[in-house]
């Protein structure tokens, strides 16, 4: 399995593909941020592995420090067959004890590289209400994503979905 190791000694960060056995710990890590999100993640991770899991067009990566899962992020191709080189990133979460140490940046750049390598042209992601997730907006803006749209009352009344995109080719 392909791995990337950053740093040295005990605190070195490993980024690798998520395996089915990692689901429980990854979901627990997400629950430290938001219980509801962690239940959605559990559903989607299980479904992903049920449907044959990792493939060229979809994957979940995890970040580990000393065997502890400290971050995750996924991607998949767009469902529109006329937009084959468009990808979406999903489920970016970092363990709160490890914020602002560059872990999300490493996951995000690793995923961009993988998407580029399989011919991706554009990456999208969605974020909830701007006031609920200011750090996510700052993070993605720093990485070159721009707001391209907003779906009003998408999740429920008063809960919009913001669409951010970045051209990688």
Ligand X SMILES: CC(C)(COP(=O)(O)OP(=O)(O)OC[C@H]1O[C@@H](n2cnc3c(N)ncnc32)[C@H](O)[C@@H]1OP(=O)(O)O)[C@@H](O)C(=O)NCCC(=O)NCCS
Residues lying near ligand X in the complex (CB under 6 A) are found at 33, 92-94, 99-105, 125, 127, 133, 135-136, 138-139, 142
Comparison of 119 and 138: residue with beta carbon closer to ligand X: 138
| Min CB(82)–ligand X separation in Å | 26
Q: Is 3 left (phi over 0), alpha (psi -120 to 50) or beta?
A: beta
| Min CB(26)–ligand X separation in Å | 12
| Min CB(93)–ligand X separation in Å | 5
What burial letters (b/e) apply to 131-145, b meaning 16+ CB within 10 Å?
eeeeebbebbeeeeb
Comparison of 84 and 141: residue with beta carbon closer to ligand X: 141
| Min CB(64)–ligand X separation in Å | 14
Comparison of 74 and 120: residue with beta carbon closer to ligand X: 74
What is d(CA 6, CA 31) in angstroms, rounded to the nearest whole number? 26
Sign of the C-alpha dihedral, residues 47, 53, 59, 61?
positive
| Phi, psi (deg, nearest 5) at residue 146 | -125, 145
Q: Report the residue closest to ligand X, judged by CB.
A: 104
- Tokens in use for 67? 């065997």
| Min CB(10)–ligand X separation in Å | 19
Sign of the C-alpha dihedral, residues 147, 59, 136, 108?
negative
Comparison of 48 and 88: residue with beta carbon closer to ligand X: 88
Comparison of 59 and 65: residue with beta carbon closer to ligand X: 65
């Amino acid at each position: 399995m392909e791995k990337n190791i950053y740093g040295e000694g005990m605190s070195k960060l490993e980024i690798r593909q998520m395996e089915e056995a990692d689901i429980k710990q990854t979901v627990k890590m997400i629950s430290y941020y938001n219980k509801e999100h962690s239940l959605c993640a559990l559903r989607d991770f299980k479904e992903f592995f049920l449907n044959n899991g990792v493939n060229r067009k979809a994957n979940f990566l995890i970040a580990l420090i000393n065997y502890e899962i400290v971050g995750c992020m996924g991607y998949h191709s767009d469902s529109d067959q006329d937009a084959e080189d468009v990808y979406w990133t999903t489920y970016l979460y970092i363990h709160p004890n490890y914020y602002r140490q560059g872990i999300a940046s490493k996951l995000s750049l690793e995923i961009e590289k993988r998407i580029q390598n399989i011919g991706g042209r554009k990456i999208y992601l969605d974020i909830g209400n701007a006031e609920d997730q200011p750090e996510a907006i700052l993070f993605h803006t720093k990485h070159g994503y721009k707001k391209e749209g907003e779906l009003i009352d998408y999740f429920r009344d008063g809960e919009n979905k913001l669409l951010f995109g970045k051209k990688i080719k």
